[in-house]
Structure 1
Amino acid sequence: MTSITKLNQWLQAGLITPAQHANILSFEAEHRQHSNGWLYSFMILGAAIIGLGVISLIAANWATIPETVKLGVDFALLTLLALGVFWQYPKRHNGVWFEVLLVGFMLLCLASIGLIAQVFHLGGKWYHALLFWAAITFLLSLFARNLFTRFFWVTLLLQGLIWSLVALTNPNISEHWEALPSVLLLAPLLIAVLYYATTHSKLLRGFTSSLFFWFQIAAIIALAFADIVRSGGEMTDYQVAWFVPAYVAAVLLAVGILLHKEYRWLNKLLLLGALGLLLLYYHPDLLFNGQSRYSLFGSQAHAGVGFWQADDIRAPLLTLTILFLYALHAGNSGHQRTFNLITFLIGLRFVILYFQAMGGLAATGVGLIISGSLIIGITWLWYKGRDRLREWTKRLQA
């Protein structure tokens, strides 16, 4: 006897309520979806490969195909996929074909935007096309049941939104790659704002995990980039105006942190502190001038430059401080995986700092022995002390 049949019998016997019956069915459908995640992934991958094959065949004869035929075939395929999505909609909880057809339809919508722009010789930027695509497929993404579909939509949305916002203050960003830091700073701040927005809406909660994933990736990249260029004395010829979208996102993020009901005052202070230091890190010349270098214990220190005034000393210390503040927040909030990741990055940065400081020593046999011992020691201390440190962070504000 199947579980659904048993549930129906329990419902008829009055052992469970209709609401409980519906919740159990929803839970089981979600469980089956996660357990068959590999099936969804390979089916969607196969659909994408078929689409690439069709595109390659068309591209090989692109010049000889009339424009009316191109548009006609495109809209015919859109219609067929739309009918398929509609046909599979009642089976979306248990079937894989709904998700495959949905992803195929969304991909074809993106291809159709490029086709129409090519046929009618329309101008525009690629990130504007992505933003338009995300807008017209937003309602479709809400019906997605598989994480891959929502992750795919969120990824393209973020690309279009971030680059479009930066282009507001630097229209020729494709020709001025020195504005890249403004993109890297805006990315984690904007994603964090969207993350907080989805946590307050039941309708948008399906995008929360994807946004949190990209927030962590974007934040690590932004912090690593700032650390590298600041330690190297670069990133000094940038305009503050390029960072205006990032500053607006930072204000919205600060408001979201302050209004978050589940955060205690300590978590709010830790997050606001990390946010303020990140903004300071990316300011063109407020803290770093690109000329003060101590060469990390070397013999090429600039005259009149103190140890704490050198860019290549301030940068790693600022990186470690930001990571430490966020690690305290993650540990205090019970996010174990994030806490483990951040504490690992802290240990890794200490190791890199050691090699920066003692690069000459590490070139010798004794230096290699000391360096290897240091890496083993840091790894062992991190492994043995992470649980104790996490418990300490949880007790900071009981």
Structure 2
Amino acid sequence: MNIYSKLSDWQKRGLITAEQQQKITDYENNVRRPMLYHALLFLSCFCIGIGVIAVIAANWEAIPAAVKLGVDFALLCTAAWGVWHSRRKGRNLAAEALLTAFALLVLGSIGLVGQIYHLPAHGLSALLFWSVLTFPLLFLSSKPLFPGLWFIGFFLSLYDRLSDYRWFADFIDQLFDRNANFGIWSGLFAMLVFYRLLQMLPHPAIQKAWRHLTVFAFAFCAFVLDAFSLKDWSYFRTDNVSLGWTVWGLSALALAGFAFACRKTSLRPGIAAAAVIFVYAFLTDMLPAWEDETSALMMIALLSVAGIYTYRHNYPRLLNVSTVLIALRFFGVYLEVFGSILSTGMGLIVSGLAFAAIAVVWQKVRRRLLHNVGEKNHD
């Protein structure tokens, strides 16, 4: 429903007057951005940029090395000046965009120098070198864009570098060969611990970038664990060797100690999610035949954690999404358990009634929660 339909509906319900509706409509018409104009400008810049790249690529070998390096240095200086000028004018968004462009130009410069002087590259060593060079720029950023890119580049290149060492490669192989779910949980738990360390830094942009990456990692891994059986992947062996009570006990103590240390911080939802995935990994280790059932319970529990968080912090849209996903996951469980009865007429009738019951229950729970959130917002 667009803004004009909403205004008409609100006016009919008595939420706004006809005069207010007209004023809002006039305001929206006046501030509406010329999308066609901006789209044509973007298309123009895109075509020009592609054309410049094509011309340079066609004559790349004929361009002297000194010219290449000189242009590269000029671009670096221009981007650096742009960051300084934008900061001085208070244009933080432009400064952040130029800071990211400067960092990417540094990465391009590393590749350019390596190509001109035929320097060999091993794995992602150039990316790791870039991470070291651009590390001070993290403390100049005011938005999470560049720190997020830097974290991805640094940890990917660091993992690639450590994989060259036999002890590290053997450790990763043994960890994921014994229980891939536990290996994934270990990585997520390490991200939580690292985020707690970042909270000690007086730099919100770095913290926000890592928080976004951590939330994405949890969501992605939860989807993978629920949608796929990792033991069936060729990358992981299926030797079904348990990790042992010592490993599980020490891991549980580490999680409990971390939860106790962070009991008064904003990490409680993340710790709850880590605890859910830990229990799932433990159950798949002890009861491998019940992996499908435990994965469904894990996903419902994780969505419940997200729902509780959005409810307590008054995020009605995210709460709505959480409840929808929970209802859909229950629907998926029903299909997994009773899917075979859908081939009969009586089974279709029973299934239809079950789906209607799920829809009614979900709608009632959703309305109740959203009503409570609305009351909180008015308090």
TM > 0.5 fold call? yes
Matched, 1:260 2:265: no
Matched, 1:228 2:230: no
Matched, 1:151 2:138: no
Equivalent position of 1:107 in the other structure: 104
Aligned ranges 1:359-378 → 2 under 5 Å: 359-363=339-343, 371=351, 374-375=354-355, 377-378=357-358
Equivalent position of 1:86 in the other structure: 84
Contact 1:48/1:104, CA 8 A, preserved across alignment: no
Aligned ranges 1:192-203 → 2 under 5 Å: 192-202=192-202
Structure 2 unaligned spans of 5+: 1-32, 244-249, 374-379
Equivalent position of 2:169 in the other structure: 170
| Residues 354-381 of structure 1 deviation map (CA, whole Å, 9 limit, x = unaligned) | 2222333335666566556544543443
Structure 1 unaligned spans of 5+: 1-35, 242-247, 293-309, 393-398
Matched, 1:275 2:277: no
For residue 381 of structure 1, give the secondary structure of its aligned residue in structure 2. helix
Aligned ranges 1:297-376 → 2 under 5 Å: 310-325=290-305, 327-328=307-308, 331-332=311-312, 339-363=319-343, 371=351, 374-375=354-355
Contact 1:47/1:100, CA 8 A, preserved across alignment: no
What is the CA–CA distance in structure 2 between the aligned matches of 1:190 and 1:51, rounded to whole Å?
A: 41
Equivalent position of 2:114 in the other structure: 117
Contact 1:99/1:144, CA 8 A, preserved across alignment: yes
Equivalent position of 2:154 in the other structure: 160
| Residues 247-299 of structure 1 deviation map (CA, whole Å, 9 limit, x = unaligned) | x99998765543336349xx85x76554244235447972354xx3xxxxxxx
For residue 286 of structure 1, give the secondary structure of its aligned residue in structure 2. helix
Letter in structure 2 aligned against 1:218 = A
Q: Provide the alpha-carbon RMSD of the alignment.
A: 4.9
Equivalent position of 1:60 in the other structure: 58
| Residues 35-67 of structure 1 deviation map (CA, whole Å, 9 limit, x = unaligned) | x9x9xx999999898766654443333344444
Contact 2:127/2:157, CA 8 A, preserved across alignment: no
| Cα distance change, pair 263–108 in 1 and its aligned pair in 2 (3 A) | closer
For residue 62 of structure 1, give the secondary structure of its aligned residue in structure 2. coil
What is the CA–CA distance in structure 1 between the aligned matches of 2:200 and 2:42, rounded to whole Å?
A: 30
One of 71, 75, 80 as aligned partner of 1:73: 71
| Cα distance change, pair 384–214 in 1 and its aligned pair in 2 (3 A) | farther
What is the CA–CA distance in structure 1 between the aligned matches of 2:112 and 2:134, rounded to whole Å?
A: 17
Contact 2:198/2:206, CA 8 A, preserved across alignment: yes
What is the CA–CA distance in structure 2 between the aligned matches of 1:212 and 1:361, rounded to whole Å?
A: 44
Letter in structure 1 aligned against 2:296 = P
| Cα distance change, pair 280–118 in 1 and its aligned pair in 2 (3 A) | farther
Percent identity, aligned pairs only? Answer: 26
Contact 2:226/2:299, CA 8 A, preserved across alignment: yes
Contact 2:138/2:146, CA 8 A, preserved across alignment: no
For residue 137 of structure 1, give the secondary structure of its aligned residue in structure 2. helix
Aligned length: 319
What is the CA–CA distance in structure 1 between the aligned matches of 2:204 and 2:323, rounded to whole Å?
A: 28
1:154 positional shift: 0.6
1:217 positional shift: 2.3
Aligned ranges 1:25-64 → 2 under 5 Å: 54-64=52-62
1:82 positional shift: 1.8
1:205 positional shift: 0.9
Equivalent position of 1:212 in the other structure: 211
| Cα distance change, pair 273–199 in 1 and its aligned pair in 2 (3 A) | closer
What is the CA–CA distance in structure 2 between the aligned matches of 1:62 and 1:97, rounded to whole Å?
A: 31
1:90 positional shift: 0.8
1:102 positional shift: 2.7
Letter in structure 2 aligned against 1:71 = L
